[in-house]
Amino acid sequence: MIRSLNILLRPLTFNAQTNTLRFAKKSFLVSLILLAGFSSFAQKFERIEPMFWFAGMHNPKLQLLVHGENIATSNVTLSYPGVKLVKVNKVENPNYLFLDLELSSTVKAGTFPINFAVKGKKIFSYNYELKNRDKTAGRIQGVTQKDFIYLLMPDRFSNGDKSNDVVKGLAETALNRDSMYFRHGGDIQGVINHLDYLKDLGITTVWMTPEIENDMKKASYHGYAVTDHYKIDPRYGTNELFKKYVETAHAKGMKVVKDIVHNHIGTGHWFFKDLPMKSWVHQWPKYTQTSYRDQAVMDTHASAADRKKMLDGWFVPSMPDLDEQNPYVQNYLTQNHIWWIEYAGIDGLRLDTYPYNDPEYMADWALKLKAEFPTLSIFGETFVSGVANQAYFTQGNTVNRGFDTHLPGITDMAIKEGIYEALNGKNGWTDGINRLYDVVAHDFLYKDPTLNCIALDNHDMSRFYSVVNEDFDKYKMGMALLLTMRGIPQMYYGTEILMKNFSNPDGLVRSDFPGGWDGDKKNKFIADGRTNKENEAFNFVKTLANYRKNSAALQTGKLMQFVPEDDIYVYFRYNAQPKGTVMVISNNTEKEKTLNTDRFAERTNGITTAKNIINNETVSFKEIKVPAKTTLVLELN
């Protein structure tokens, strides 16, 4: 009996592309010892996560999730120098074990068996691997004001590998570019293929919406309904390809931001289908959706019920809300994010739906990640109303909280609204161009506003060019403000070629980038495929973005703004040395204005001429003519 089992049931190996175990002839990763009476149990063993870890981490603690049918009936042992099995945790669901390990500071990279036995008889062993940390210089660089981020949706940017367009066995196999709600076939290889296009444009950092598996029946392309935290969606590629993408970007002098989701998962997630415990997700007597009211988190007068609904309510029915007060959930998420950063060498993280997360956990999470990766950049999505609302979530604001969030920066929606009002509004005491001045004047609410990510639109908003009613002058005004304002500028894919549309009702803001697919009638990745106006827009962005790469004032400089007068808004970006100071002058009216520069003497003393960055022309400095609907960007000489 035993001999026949040894013939039929071969050792298991781990497949890094699919994050699963499979039968194979070699047993260098997982060795399987089957005894009579236990064969059915061993065949149903599912996974261990993280599937490998790293020696030399700051935090010596590691918690392994083990999943398999009735796995809790087994006893676990291991023996490896520098690794201690502190505790085996059994939870409500017998299909789970959580193993608490402690790694010494001197532990060496290598593999060791984790043995599982029932009634003293060994069922199988999992050969767990500890890898050396990658200490390559320039890895995990962080993202700062020196950078210009390009946000794209991989499904809608470019199809670089047709072989993964449809993957059998997944819940969604439809491929339909005529619908905004189905997959279109874009992938990571498509992004790799166009990194040179982005670099030429002046982009320094790429941010993709989440690339990890979203095995959902409908609208899975956006990436925010994760179904496997440790696996790149096979329609985008593999874990190895994602790592190659990061390494390729680094080799080209570019950085990578990864978009991660703490708050929720997709209903197709493997552990939602077999919950470790009831408290893994927030449970309600009946379905309860979040109120989306961030005020309930910060309001000193808020009811406990309103706060709970905001934080614990589900985002939408297809996205269960994780219970981040559960220590097992905390460990799982924190370790997963550390794993991806160390594995791939990511430079920064964008945190989705930040205000909906458990505040105390997020503070602890930030400390743990910064301890492992001091140069890592983090900014949280705060789709909220007002400067105070978004500043509340950033580091240093401990009033009424009793703790520090340790969140360096946020997605600065207030700046976006200020720029929109400056471009579309009618000038008044707090309206029009004065709104933008007022928003910037509230920077005292932040510990460091330069760490905020500023943008004019994204995948959840109407496109910028449509918001300004396809007014090309206003488009150029806005892009000039974006690329010279304090903070880390981010541009949504296609803005450089005037892609348009509104967020409702058809979702066309997520349209494909023309030329990203074989057979596209127009290829807007090349100049010949763009119209004259699209090329003018592309070159306008390119000129400013590439100037920014070499401008110390825009990369590291302070900001000084002046109260708008005669409907003209002026600010300076500058360092200690006056050479290279950038002066920004914005006239949002329908008339040309003449600006006398005497009132700016504290920043312009001794200046006689300036250079227009866009056309490279010399500008006489005493009185500057500012055309209607124009933002001038001048380098002072």
Please tell me the distance from the alpha carbon of residue 302 to that of residue 295, in angstroms, as a whole number: 8
Taking only the tens place, the pLDDT of each residue in 223-273 is 999 999 999 999 999 999 999 999 999 999 999 999 999 999 999 999 999
Q: What residue ranges in 444-581 does DSSP mark as E strands?
A: 453-455, 488-492, 558-565, 568-574
Candidates 98, 61, 376, 47; CA nearest to 231 is 47
pLDDT of residue 400: 78
pTM: 0.93
pLDDT of residue 270: 98
The pLDDT of 327-349, averaged and rounded, is 98
The dihedral region occupied by 19, where left means phi > 0, alpha psi between -120 and 50, and beta the remainder, is: left
Taking 80 as the threshold, does the pLDDT of residue 39 lie above it? no
Percent of the chain with pLDDT over 70: 93
Please tell me the distance from the alpha carbon of residue 173 to that of residue 361, in angstroms, as a whole number: 37
Structure tokens given for 274 = 């077999």
Structure tokens given for 323 = 């219970």
Looking at every residue in the chain, the average pLDDT score rounds to: 92
Show the domains of the chain with their CATH numbers: 2-132 (2.60.40.10), 149-414+448-554 (3.20.20.80), 556-636 (2.60.40.1180)
| Per annotation, catalytic residue among 161, 347, 352, 372 | 352
Taking 60 as the threshold, does the pLDDT of residue 87 lie above it? yes
Taking only the tens place, the pLDDT of each residue in 514-544 is 999 999 999 999 999 999 999 999 999 999 9
Percent of the chain with pLDDT over 90: 87
Sheet containing 96-103: which strands, arranged edge to edge? 45-49, 61-68, 96-103, 83-90
User: 317: how many CB neighbours lie within 10 A of its CB?
Assistant: 9
Confidence of residue 30 (pLDDT cuts 50, 70, 90): very low
User: Which residues are within 8 A (CB) of 440 and not within 5 positions of it... i.e. 6 or more apart?
Assistant: 415, 418, 485, 486, 559, 561, 571
What length is written for the chain?
Answer: 637
Confidence of residue 420 (pLDDT cuts 50, 70, 90): very high
Please tell me the distance from the alpha carbon of residue 202 to that of residue 622, in angstroms, as a whole number: 32
Check: CB of residue 115 under 8 Å from CB of residue 33.
no
| 116 DSSP assignment | E
The pLDDT of 173-195, averaged and rounded, is 95
381 given a catalytic annotation? yes
pLDDT of residue 213: 98
3-class DSSP state of 527: helix
Please tell me the distance from the alpha carbon of residue 154 to that of residue 237, in angstroms, as a whole number: 11
Q: Return the ∠ at Cα 34 (arms to 32 and 39), rounded to 5°.
A: 115
Confidence of residue 218 (pLDDT cuts 50, 70, 90): confident
SS3 letters across 566-601: CCEEEEEEECCCCCCCEEEEEECCCCCEEEECHHHH
pLDDT of residue 637: 85
Taking 80 as the threshold, does the pLDDT of residue 430 lie above it? yes
pLDDT of residue 123: 87
CA atoms within 13 Å, Cβ hemisphere of 230: 26
User: Which residues are within 8 A (CB) of 60 and not within 5 positions of it... i.e. 6 or more apart?
Assistant: 102, 103, 104, 105
Give burial (CB, 10 Å; 0-12/13-18/19+) of 429.
exposed
- Comparing 370 with 621, which gets the higher pLDDT? 370
H/E stretch holding 295 reads: helix 295-298
Structure tokens given for 101 = 């390990």
Check: CB of residue 363 under 8 Å from CB of residue 405.
yes
| Per annotation, catalytic residue among 381, 512, 534, 635 | 381
Helices (H) and strands (E) in the chain, counts: 18, 29
Please tell me the distance from the alpha carbon of residue 334 to that of residue 321, in angstroms, as a whole number: 16
Structure tokens given for 596 = 């006398």
The pLDDT of 289-317, averaged and rounded, is 97
pLDDT of residue 408: 97
Taking only the tens place, the pLDDT of each residue in 590-632 is 999 999 999 999 999 889 899 999 999 999 888 999 999 999 9
pLDDT of residue 16: 38
